Amino acid sequence: MKVHVSLKRVIDDSHDIFIDEYPVDGIGAYLSGSSAVRKYLIFTDTNVMEHYGGRLTENLRANGLDVPEPVVIPAGEQSKSNYMAFEKWRELVRKGAARDSSLIAIGGGVVTDLGGFIASSYMRGIPPIYVLTTLMAMVDAGIGGKTGFDLPEGKNLVGAFYQPKAIFIDTGTLKTLPEREFRSGSAEAIKYGLISDAGMLQFLEEHIDEFLALDKDVVGHVVNRSCEIKAGFVSKDEKEKSGLRALLNYGHTFGHPLEAATGYSRFTHGEAVSIGMVQAAELSRRCGYLDAESVGRQNELLARAGLPVKLPADIRTEDLMRCMKTDKKSAGGKKRFVILHSMGDAVVQDGIDDVLVEEVIDSTRAH
């Protein structure tokens, strides 16, 4: 005997990214037109709460929306844990969140990763809205629907693909972002030029000083182009089935183990990815693709952006290799690397020998 459950679906998760169209103080006017949502739950961290949590709460309430006091987590990668998710699910219950509620995650990648996952699982799914306040979130982490949290064994090992209903970017919030965090986010913007858009790479090389100085036009161009590139990859391969979206992991197969091996506390994500891109470029050279001049060109831009380009001498290769084995970017137990065929042209490569990977890691170590 057999019972067939037919679940063929046509799902439209399309959504808009509003860049500098709605400031934090103007989002309520946009949301007030929705009759499907009864309550909005603001989800943020302690840093963002200080600058924008109260302003957003007041703005939403001024537009007649039902908004309890914000749900706040401690700032930092350490908050991306199952314990924190459990605590915040319970807090949503206490604040009266139901299936006709929406979670507004305002902050950077930690907030959207954890907040998006909480939204995806609470009441079996309530709609999230993202208000991005860090460069890392604006150009990468807040776009694409990846949500989740970390385990001691690796980064983002638990999560779900769950798209927001809308994304708001107010680049003015970058003025309150610490310089180190801004430079960290620049690593992902540089990555887009390296893997997909040689023109953007050249733009960053020519305007990196204005970018770091928060020139509004330059920042706006970089954020807008980054969103376009990321959206293009996501639209064609949302859940990394074809391998296209995996190209966005350039530098990450090296970078994520570096974060895990140092307890997610020594490097920002962008700093780890920067070192990872240095190693990925060297791997690309040793595989016979990039020439030494191209490797140097990449590393010079990373250094000009204030990002690290050397692996610290005290970090052991064996620790990185161990963490690499449990990274979710492995496929079938084999490590998967994104390498560059040329500047602006990336491919996914499997089957690279561990000995070569270890040699690459050692060659990029500071002495």
Whole-number Å distance between alpha carbons of 112 and 233: 19
Q: Which residue has the higher pLDDT, 73 or 350?
A: 73
In the predicted structure, residue 329 carries a pLDDT above the cut 70: no
In the predicted structure, residue 290 carries a pLDDT above the cut 90: yes
pLDDT of residue 334: 64
Backbone CA torsion sign across 301, 302, 306, 312: negative
Whole-number Å distance between alpha carbons of 6 and 4: 6
CATH code of the domain made up of 179-363: 1.20.1090.10
- Known catalytic residues are 124, 146, 188, 230, 240, 245, 249, 252, 256, 269
Mean pLDDT of the chain: 95
Whole-number Å distance between alpha carbons of 106 and 43: 6
Give 55-112 pLDDT, tens digit per residue: 999 999 999 999 999 999 999 989 999 999 999 999 999 999 999 999 999 999 999 9
In the predicted structure, residue 337 carries a pLDDT above the cut 90: yes
**67-71 CB contacts, 8 Å cutoff, 24+ apart:** 67/39, 67/40, 67/41, 67/42, 68/39, 68/41, 68/95, 68/96, 69/95, 70/41, 70/42, 70/43, 70/44, 71/41, 71/42, 71/43, 71/44, 71/95
User: Per-residue pLDDT averaged across 137-148, rounded?
Assistant: 97
pLDDT band with cut points at 50, 70 and 90 for residue 266:
very high
pLDDT band with cut points at 50, 70 and 90 for residue 46:
very high
pLDDT of residue 330: 57
pLDDT of residue 119: 98
For residue 168, the number of C-alpha atoms closer than 13 Å in the C-beta half-sphere is 23
pLDDT of residue 315: 97
User: Per-residue pLDDT averaged across 104-126, rounded?
Assistant: 98
Side chain identity, residue 356? L
pLDDT of residue 10: 83
pLDDT of residue 333: 57
User: Per-residue pLDDT averaged across 134-161, rounded?
Assistant: 94
In the predicted structure, residue 228 carries a pLDDT above the cut 80: yes
Phi, psi of 285 (to 5 degrees): -65, -45
Side chain identity, residue 81? S
Domain ranges of the chain: 16-176, 179-363
pLDDT of residue 280: 98
Whole-number Å distance between alpha carbons of 195 and 352: 19
Domain spanning 16-176: CATH 3.40.720.10? no
pLDDT band with cut points at 50, 70 and 90 for residue 152:
confident
pLDDT band with cut points at 50, 70 and 90 for residue 335:
confident
Give 291-307 pLDDT, tens digit per residue: 999 999 999 999 999 99
User: Per-residue pLDDT averaged across 112-131, rounded?
Assistant: 98
Side chain identity, residue 266? R
In the predicted structure, residue 9 carries a pLDDT above the cut 90: no
pTM: 0.94
**Percent of the chain topping pLDDT 70:** 98
Whole-number Å distance between alpha carbons of 31 and 37: 9
Which residue, chain included where needed, has tokens 């001024």?
A: 62
pLDDT band with cut points at 50, 70 and 90 for residue 271:
very high
Q: What burial letters (b/e) apply to 298-309, b meaning 16+ CB within 10 Å?
A: bbebbeebbbbb
Are 16-176 and 179-363 equal in CATH topology?
no
Strand order in 39-45's β-sheet?
Answer: 16-19, 166-169, 128-132, 101-107, 39-45, 71-73
**Percent of the chain topping pLDDT 90:** 90
In the predicted structure, residue 130 carries a pLDDT above the cut 90: yes
pLDDT of residue 293: 97
Q: Which residues pair with 149 in a beta bridge?
A: 158
pLDDT band with cut points at 50, 70 and 90 for residue 279:
very high
